[in-house]
Amino acid sequence: MTNYNPAAAFRESVDGAGVELAYAGLGTFLKGDARNIDDVTDVDAAVLGVPYDGAVSNRPGTRYGPTAIRRASGWWAYLSDYKGGLTNMQTGKQVNFDDLTVADCGDVPVFPMDGETTAESITAHVATVASQTFPVMLGGDHYCTFPAVRGFAEGRNYDDVGFVQIDAHTDTTSESPVFGTDFHGSSTALIADSEYVDYGNVSQVGIRGYESPEFFEFAEETGLDLYTMRDVEDQGITSVVADAVASAAEGTDAVYVSFDIDGVDPSVAPGTGTPVPGGLTAHQALKTMEVLGATDAVSAVDMMEVAPRYDTDEGTQKLAAYLLVTLLERQFAE
């Protein structure tokens, strides 16, 4: 049989045929290569999705977050492919996404009625990626961050990990009479009780709403580095995030960053399960990722609690993708 390939001839002869539109293609993050999880040693970052929302306390729907974030990220890949090198008008920096190599390893196996097995799956898959490159996890509810931090530490063979959490909530409820000990409101408590992290290296930014009556005393006693939205307003987001990541990094092997999209004000990012008014602006959120992305200690990131069904304009997943792109370009593409 002859080698009949008119498709290749068309692509070679027509200008623009090699440009993949933002909404076309296979839907990998930043249109990166789809890879097996054990084949990412040659890339800057590898993405894992966790389509799980079995540990939420309010509105479900974060199981659809990974797919939505991936699709939204195609815009930045398209721009880079279409325009070549880019100028980031937010930072003033020249960015070449050809210098940022990202692979997408698909979604980890989840078990909707079995949180324990799901957690084991997340730990194993994040550990596999972390042993090779920079892991990026797309959630999923925030409980999933606990096994991810564990997997990150195990994959890197780290003894001490710092944790920076961008969030409306502290997630420090060690036990709930309704939800037990393993739900999205307990993730930071579980992380701080693990062998790899303690509260002295946990920094939280954007906290608001309501916590337990003696929460400030709890933060002082445990050494939790706490920045409420009032602190952000008083001190400025750049100063707050710089202090937060420095505190998390002190005496640790590396820092894991977890961004709960409900840290952003719901007027900007309504697509989440537990929205709280008075949060970060889009500008403050992007600045947060700029600062974190420029910090050498940051070695893993996740984006959690995106529930796209509550945002008919799709702005939440677009912002979530932009936040991850901002951190990654500061790390690898400037």
Residue 206 maps to which CATH number?
A: 3.40.800.10
Residues 6+ away with beta carbon under 8 Å from 214 = none
Q: What does the mean pLDDT of the chain come to?
A: 92
| 15: in domain | no
| 7: in domain | no
Are 248 and 255 in contact by the 8 Å Cβ rule? The answer is yes
198 annotated to bind ligand: no
| 6: in domain | no
169 annotated to bind ligand: yes
262 annotated to bind ligand: yes
Asked whether the predicted pLDDT for residue 181 surpasses 90, the reply is no
- What is the band of 92 on the pLDDT scale with cuts at 50, 70, 90? confident
Tell me the pTM. 0.93
The tally of domains found in the chain comes to 1
pLDDT in tens, 189-243: 999 999 999 999 999 999 999 988 999 999 999 999 999 999 999 999 999 999 9
Question: Measured between alpha carbons, how far is 121 from 114 in angstroms, rounded to an integer?
Answer: 11
243 annotated to bind ligand: no
| 9: in domain | no
225 annotated to bind ligand: no
Instruction: Kindly give the pairing relationship between strand 134-139 and strand 102-107.
Output: unpaired
Question: Measured between alpha carbons, how far is 260 from 37 in angstroms, rounded to an integer?
Answer: 25
| 103: in domain | yes
* Residue 187 φ then ψ, to 5°: -60, -45
pLDDT at 85: 72
Asked whether the predicted pLDDT for residue 6 surpasses 90, the reply is no
What residues form DSSP beta bridges with 187?
A: none
Asked whether the predicted pLDDT for residue 5 surpasses 70, the reply is yes
pLDDT at 2: 64
| 302: in domain | yes
Instruction: Kindly give the pairing relationship between strand 161-166 and strand 225-228.
Output: unpaired
- What's the length of the chain? 334
- What is the band of 26 on the pLDDT scale with cuts at 50, 70, 90? confident
Asked whether the predicted pLDDT for residue 99 surpasses 70, the reply is yes
Percent of residues in the chain assigned helix, strand, coil, to nearest 5: 40, 20, 40
Domain housing 91: 20-332
pLDDT at 7: 76
| 12: in domain | no
pLDDT in tens, 241-276: 999 999 999 999 999 999 999 999 999 999 999 999
Asked whether the predicted pLDDT for residue 287 surpasses 90, the reply is yes
| 129: in domain | yes
53 annotated to bind ligand: no
pLDDT in tens, 52-64: 999 898 899 999 9
pLDDT in tens, 120-143: 999 999 999 999 999 999 999 999
What residues form DSSP beta bridges with 88?
A: 93
- What is the band of 83 on the pLDDT scale with cuts at 50, 70, 90? low
Mean pLDDT value of segment 76-84: 72
- What is the band of 184 on the pLDDT scale with cuts at 50, 70, 90? confident
- What is the band of 1 on the pLDDT scale with cuts at 50, 70, 90? low
